[in-house]
Each structure stands twice: as structure tokens, then as C-alpha cells.
Structure 1
Amino acid sequence: MSTFKDVFKRDPDVTASAPGRVNLLGEHTDYQGGFVLPTAIPQRTTVSIGRNGTAEHVLHSANSHKTLHVPVGEVGTEFAPYLTGCLTLSGVTEGLDVFIQGNVPSGGLSSSAALEVATLRALRDLYALELDDVALALRGVKVEHEFVGVKCGVMDQMASSLAGTDTMLLIDTRSLERRAVPFPAGAEVLVIDSGVPRRLAESGYNERRAQVEEASRLLGVKELRDVTEVSALDGLPELLHKRARHVVTENARVLAGLGADATAFGELMNASHASLRDDYEVSHPQVDELVALLQGHADIFGARMTGAGFGGAVVALARSGQATAAADAVLWRYGPTGRRVVP
């Protein structure tokens, strides 16, 4: 694979990286002030930057072998908004050469957040920005909202900026308080890419967010985080009731997962998938098939879709030492489109 020097014929001024993440519990709750339990994955995105002395940004993706030229102050197209959003919000007024490469799979593992966090880390180093890890994550969220057009919550960027691979990170997405939480004893995380492209993820995500915001408005609460009993949702229109029920019960599942043993945690993951499939309606038939195969394996405690949905990745909690063998057995039955990501 090419390097910054191969493309731009000199060394970069700065290089930084950031990991993708997988979320074990707490899906589609972070834009309603809820609780989430992500962990970082080993795969990372790396961004190298160098000043070019022009009024144009030159953006090169080693993965897609594509170079984009964007005038300073403009947003650009394709993958450019993720980068130019970071540059604009960081006050960059000079032309930069930006080289990106990585192995974070797209589809539920926050490849976009890893790109934003890595870019912002590089800019922090290049310009000595006073930007701590939380402020950096929030700037990444702003990039999504204002430049990419996805009204995401804070989990993905917070996890990419702050999480490690050896624990889960409990995040209160309202207060931004967080703490490391150990994985259930005797268990390890397994991530499989379903091979289903997330064609409706962005439009569906924004639609679901609008629906739960309307549910909150009708209930007279700031966010569904303030609702703890499903009975409080009575009176909502049927569709909004389903959407809100997912958020309320998912928050409860995250809190129930703290300190749960592997069997109980797995059951919570199974219930989370059913809720995402039936109440939030963000799954996909092939993803459901893969989840069911995992849930039926003797060495899997539980499994669920992860990420925005409509395709993408699946996460499972496997018996320690058995994740690879379980994945191989499941993928043999699932078919050639799936592939193991972690471990």
C-alpha cells in the first residue's frame, strides 16, 4: 500500500491514528441522553498531514486509491466532508495534503468516527490546539452534523477518542461521565461483518432520531433518558411507542449489564437485537440470519446487530478461547459474504 511520501514526495508533518469501536449494549440511545457500552477494536485509521503552501487541500485515500482536490474553505464530496469538516472547525486556513489509510471495516464499527478522531488528533499536534479528548470527540460529532449530514449522537467519537480494547467504556451520553467496565468473566468479544452494505443507514438514522425526538416532545420530557417505565409511553401513536420502547428498554439493558455474568449479559444482547429488529426496525434479514446462527451456537452467550443498522456488523459474546472456532462454524453455514473482524 502507498504511503504519504509515495503520493506527496516528502514526509508528513504529523501522523495520528484512532481505533474503530464496537458497541456491546446501548444502541440508538446516545442521541436521547442514554447509556452505552462500547469498546475499541484493534483496527485503526491513520491520518498523515503536511502543509502544501497552496490554497487547496489535497486529500488522498490509500484504501480507495483516490485523490480529491478541495479549495480551502469548501466542503467537497465523497469522503472529503469528514476531513474538510475537521479542518474548517479547527480553523485551518492554509492548504494541506492529507493521506488516510486504515483497516476499520465500514458498517457498524465507526470507521467515520475513527477517521474524524485521527484527523483531529493530527491537527491538534500540527497546530498545538488546546483540545482534550472529550472536546476532540465533540468536534467530531459536530463534523457529522454540519458537514456530513448525519445527526449522530456522541458515542462513536467518544469511544474512538477514549475507549481501550481491554475493557468496555460505560458512557453517560448526557453528562459525558464515563468509566471502564470489565468484560464478563470467561467471555471474549466476537465481531463479524455480515457483508450487507448499509444502504439506508444515513437516511434511516436521521428518520429514527426525528421519531424519538417527537416522542419525547409528546411525553413532555427533555429526552427519553428521563423515562424509566415502559407504561409511561402509553398514549403515544403506535409507531412512536415502538421507537420509544426500544430506547427505554435499551437503557435498562445497559444498566442491567453492569456486573452481569456472561450468560446474563448474553441474554441482554439477544433482547437488544430483538428490540432493534422489531421496535426500532433497523436490522436486515441477512443480519437477522447471522445473529440467529450465532445465538444458536453452544459457545456463544448472546449476539446482536451493532451500529446504525440496515446491514453492517454483528457483535457476539463468546466463551473465552472459542470465538474463532465459533465464528468459523457460523460463517460456514452463513455463506461467503460474512467475514470475521474480531478476534
Structure 2
Amino acid sequence: MTTERSSFESVFGTAPEVTARAPGRVNLLGEHTDYQGGFVLPAAIPQQATVSLRRNGGGEHRLYSANLNQTLTVPLGEVGTGFAPYLTGSMALSGVEDALDIWVWSDVPSGGLSSSAALELATLRALRELYGLPLNDVELALLGQKVEHEYVGVMCGIMDQMASSLADTWHMLFLDTRSLERRKLPLPADPLSGTAQVLVLDSGVPRRLAESGYNERRAQVEEASRLLGVPQLRDVTDLSMLSVLPELLHRRAHHVISENARVLEALDADAARFGTLMNASHASLRDDYEVSHPQVDVLVALLQAHPQVYGARMTGAGFGGAVVALVRAGQAAQVADSVLAQYTGAEGRMVVP
């Protein structure tokens, strides 16, 4: 593959003014809780989105995706289609009025690892640098979330953008998504073998949030909180309160409330207990929240059955995408080879490490 600068130059005939990057993320625990004010435990992954840009002095944006080998032209003031809204939305919300040439490339796999948030945050970081915007990393994350809501059409919570903006690859980021209070924590450890490894496998099952049941699930838990008379399900800790809900909303709310409890228990859990909580999280996402996929369930089951794995679950919004496992130190590559050799029906691959 060519270098970033030469790739930009080969498309636009000149060098970019700035280049910025932002990572994808894997969520270890705390799924579908962030839009109900809950708790999450993501970490950044090594894969990143890269955005290079320059002002072109014209009347339209020229947007090039190196992944797609595709150029889109979008007149000033318009949003565009395809991958354009992530970029034009970021420009609009940043107050940028210039026409820009933008080159993007990402090695963050789509489906559960926040490839969209990585693209948004890389774009926003580039715009911050180019224009000297007085925005801190939390404000960038909030802008990225607003891009999803207003330009992409996905009513996501704040976890993905906060993780892409603030997390690193060697800690978990414990985030209270209501207050945005946060702290970095070490990865879970085993008293005998040391700090566990995080293994991420792509199930090979594609999904797209705006076309999935994501917004439907959000509407369901918002209705559950309304019926319970609370601002958000974050405010419910007594599961017996759910008895007044219709059966479907009961299951949806049960997942969110029990998932918050799992995250809080995980904060001081060793690797074995953390893995047990991951297994319970997957069962809840599969059965109560119904956002898993049969192929994802197969891959998770293979991981959970492996003797070097503490626990495994789907990660991200679901309906396909990636799975995450907590693995005994030094065993991640061996576990990946073993599990993927048994996995059939879709093309799975190791993402991390």
C-alpha cells in the first residue's frame, strides 16, 4: 500500500495540510447501556481511521475513501450520501465553511468496533488542528455523537465516541455515560498467570446500525423507563420493579439493569470472575435484548468452551460484527487459531491482537 501523503497527493495533486487519526474500540462489558445513562468498560484497539485534508478554495468538497477507491463530490452546504455524512456532518458542526479535499482510510473493521466513531473523531481532530478549534477531547466526542444523531441517523449513546477520543489499548476506560466521569483501570488479571489478554474476532457477519434494530431497541427502553416513571433505566436497581412492564419491555429493561450491575461488579474482579460476567452479558444480549446473530453465537460458544478463555461475548451494537474474549496471558494467538479452525459458515478472522 502507498503512504498516506503520496495517496493524498495521487488523488488531489498536492499535499494535505493536516493528518489526524483516531482508534476503534472494543467494549469489554456494558452493552446497550450508554443511551440509558449506564456504565461501560471499553478499550481502544490498535486499528485506526486516518483522515488527511486541505482547503481547496472551490465550491464543493472532494471526499476520497482509500478503502472504497471512491471519490464523492458534495456542494458546500449539502450533506451527501455514502460515507460523506460522517465528514460533512463533522464539518458542519465544527462551523467549517471552506470547501475541503479529504482523504480517508481505516483499518478498523466495520461491525462492533466503532469504525464510524473512529472516522468521526479522526475528522474532528483534523479539523481542530487545521482551524485551531478550542475543543477538548470530551467536546470532540460529544460532537461525534451529534454527527451520528443529526447526519447519519443512528441515535447512539456516547460510549463509542468517548472511547475513540479518550481510551488507550492497555487500559479499560470505566465511563459513567450520564455524568461522563471516567477513570482508566488495568485489564483484569489472573493471580497465577498475570494480566489477561483481550482477543477480538470478526465474525464475518456484516451489519449496518441504521438498517438494524438499534433505534428500535432504544425506543423500547425509553418506553420502559417512561412506564417505570424514571428518567433512565440507570435509575432502577431493583429488578422487581419490572413486573409492571409488558413481557417484551420487561426483557429489554432487564438486560440494561443487569448489565449495569455486571459492569460495577467487574471493576474489581479478577480475570476468572470478569470472564463469567462476560458470559452472562452475552446470554442477556442474546435472549433479553435479542441483538445477537446465530453465527456470532456459534463463535462465542467456541471461545467460551476453550480452556484458555475466561469468558467471551458479542461486542458492539450487535446483529453481526465482532466478538471479544478475555484470554489467559500469552495465549490469544493460539486461541484464535484453534477457534477459527472450528468456525464455519462465515469468514471469521482475528482483529486483536
Q: Where on the TM-score scale, by shorter chain, does this alignment land: which range? A: over 0.9
Residue among 110, 130, 147 paired with 1:143: 147
- Number of aligned positions between the proteins: 343
Q: Structure 1 residues 153, 314: closer, same or farther in 2, change over 3 A? A: same
Amino acid at match of 1:326: V
Task: Using the TM superposition, give the Cα deviation of residue 203 of structure 1 relative to its aligned residue in structure 2, in angstroms.
Answer: 3.3
Task: Using the TM superposition, give the Cα deviation of residue 232 of structure 1 relative to its aligned residue in structure 2, in angstroms.
Answer: 1.3
Asked if the contact 2:20–2:125 (Cα under 8 Å) also holds between the matched residues in 1, the reply is: yes
Residue among 239, 243, 261 paired with 2:270: 261
Q: Structure 1 residues 53, 201: closer, same or farther in 2, change over 3 A? A: closer
Cα RMSD (Å): 0.9
Asked if the contact 2:209–2:317 (Cα under 8 Å) also holds between the matched residues in 1, the reply is: no
Q: Structure 1 residues 304, 201: closer, same or farther in 2, change over 3 A? A: farther
Task: Using the TM superposition, give the Cα deviation of residue 202 of structure 1 relative to its aligned residue in structure 2, in angstroms.
Answer: 4.1
Looking at structure 1, the residues matched to 206 and 21 of structure 2 have their Cα atoms a distance apart, in angstroms, of 25
Q: Structure 1 residues 201, 341: closer, same or farther in 2, change over 3 A? A: farther
Aligned residue in 2 for 1:56:
60
Aligned residue in 2 for 1:173:
177
Residue among 4, 27, 32 paired with 2:31: 27
Residue among 211, 218, 223 paired with 1:209: 218
TM-score when scaled to structure 1? 0.99
Looking at structure 2, the residues matched to 292 and 234 of structure 1 have their Cα atoms a distance apart, in angstroms, of 31
Aligned residue in 1 for 2:41:
37
Looking at structure 1, the residues matched to 222 and 80 of structure 2 have their Cα atoms a distance apart, in angstroms, of 30
Residue among 240, 245, 265 paired with 1:236: 245
Q: Residues 215-240 of structure 1: CA distance to partner in whole angstroms, max 9, x if unpaired?
A: 00000000000001211111100000
Q: How does 1:1-343 map to 2 (within 5 A)?
A: 1-2=1-2, 3-185=7-189, 186=194, 187-199=196-208, 202-335=211-344, 337-343=347-353
Looking at structure 2, the residues matched to 309 and 145 of structure 1 have their Cα atoms a distance apart, in angstroms, of 18
Asked if the contact 1:201–1:308 (Cα under 8 Å) also holds between the matched residues in 2, the reply is: no
Task: Using the TM superposition, give the Cα deviation of residue 125 of structure 1 relative to its aligned residue in structure 2, in angstroms.
Answer: 0.4
State the secondary structure of the residue aligned to 1:234: helix
Task: Using the TM superposition, give the Cα deviation of residue 164 of structure 1 relative to its aligned residue in structure 2, in angstroms.
Answer: 0.5
Q: Structure 1 residues 104, 293: closer, same or farther in 2, change over 3 A? A: same
Question: Which runs of no fewer than 5 residues in structure 2 stay unpaired?
Answer: none
Amino acid at match of 2:70: K
Asked if the contact 2:41–2:172 (Cα under 8 Å) also holds between the matched residues in 1, the reply is: yes
Amino acid at match of 1:305: M
State the secondary structure of the residue aligned to 2:220: helix
Identity percentage of aligned residues: 73
Q: Structure 1 residues 267, 43: closer, same or farther in 2, change over 3 A? A: same
Amino acid at match of 1:309: G
Task: Using the TM superposition, give the Cα deviation of residue 199 of structure 1 relative to its aligned residue in structure 2, in angstroms.
Answer: 4.7
Looking at structure 2, the residues matched to 310 and 155 of structure 1 have their Cα atoms a distance apart, in angstroms, of 18
Task: Using the TM superposition, give the Cα deviation of residue 334 of structure 1 relative to its aligned residue in structure 2, in angstroms.
Answer: 0.2
Looking at structure 2, the residues matched to 284 and 149 of structure 1 have their Cα atoms a distance apart, in angstroms, of 23
TM-score when scaled to structure 2? 0.96
Q: Residues 108-160 of structure 1: CA distance to partner in whole angstroms, max 9, x if unpaired?
A: 00000000000000000011000000000000000000000000000000000
Asked if the contact 2:111–2:208 (Cα under 8 Å) also holds between the matched residues in 1, the reply is: no
Asked if the contact 1:85–1:143 (Cα under 8 Å) also holds between the matched residues in 2, the reply is: yes
Looking at structure 2, the residues matched to 231 and 144 of structure 1 have their Cα atoms a distance apart, in angstroms, of 35
Looking at structure 1, the residues matched to 208 and 86 of structure 2 have their Cα atoms a distance apart, in angstroms, of 18
Looking at structure 2, the residues matched to 203 and 190 of structure 1 have their Cα atoms a distance apart, in angstroms, of 26
Question: Which runs of no fewer than 5 residues in structure 1 stay unpaired?
Answer: none
Looking at structure 2, the residues matched to 202 and 296 of structure 1 have their Cα atoms a distance apart, in angstroms, of 32
Greater mean alpha carbon deviation, residues 152-161 or residues 88-97: 88-97
Task: Using the TM superposition, give the Cα deviation of residue 200 of structure 1 relative to its aligned residue in structure 2, in angstroms.
Answer: 6.1
Q: Where does structure 1 differ by over 3 angstroms across 4 or more consecutive aligned residues? A: 199-203
Asked if the contact 1:150–1:202 (Cα under 8 Å) also holds between the matched residues in 2, the reply is: no
